[in-house]
Structure 1
Amino acid sequence: AEEVLRAALKRDYNSHLARLYGLVRGSDPLKQLQTAEGWLKHHPADPSLLLSLGRICLQGRLWGKARDYLESSLRLERNPETCAELARLLAQLGETDRSNTLFQEGLGLLDERFLSRPLPALTKA
């Protein structure tokens, strides 16, 4: 999957495919990171690419770099996926207050379709 996405992105860069690139695990994580960082030179303001770079860094246990990419992505676009990824990282780093805030923000950013569905009535036991 990584090779197919890489080839497609090389032919015709697309922000949606760049987001998917961070969800697949290639056979060589370092090469995957270098490839995505190459795209960043031409697309520095793409929040989806920055999210993918953050995810690839998380896979490679590059915590500081992951944090930088995820925070950069959030500065460009408030996105529930990015909030969740950064919140998970911050929780592992012991920054629980900021992590909780980001989890709450991410939930608030979810499409209202999900949030407006009816909930079951509370029953007294």
Structure 2
Amino acid sequence: MGIEMIEFTRERAVATMPVEGNTQPIMLLHGGAYVVLGETLGSMHANYVAPEGFVAVGVDINATHTSSATSGSVVGVCTPVHLGRSMTVHEIVVSDEQGRRCSTVRITNYYRPWQR
């Protein structure tokens, strides 16, 4: 997918992803690629802030696509909406190089005890 992390802090996670190689046959960035970027950022951030001894597992994800990237790369900015004791909710805004919002992804993760 070519995802590259740009920033990763307790407050947010930011990554880029190229359009090339992640398109539909009509050369638009595939809707599933937006979701992959969103889930990568949201799940990684949820695990970063997870309580000791717990791991975040996704229980819900949805995306609303409002524009289409056709070249260059997109940037995903992930911010927590809710960081609870047993659940997190993150919003990921994916924009093209012109700053247009292309997709809004929301992911909910549940914390469960880590077991090997």
What's the TM-score, normalizing by structure 1? 0.23
From the two aligned structures, give the one with the greater helix fraction. Answer: 1
Larger Rg computed on CA atoms: 1
Instruction: Indicate the structure with greater strand content.
Output: 2
TM (norm. structure 2) is 0.24
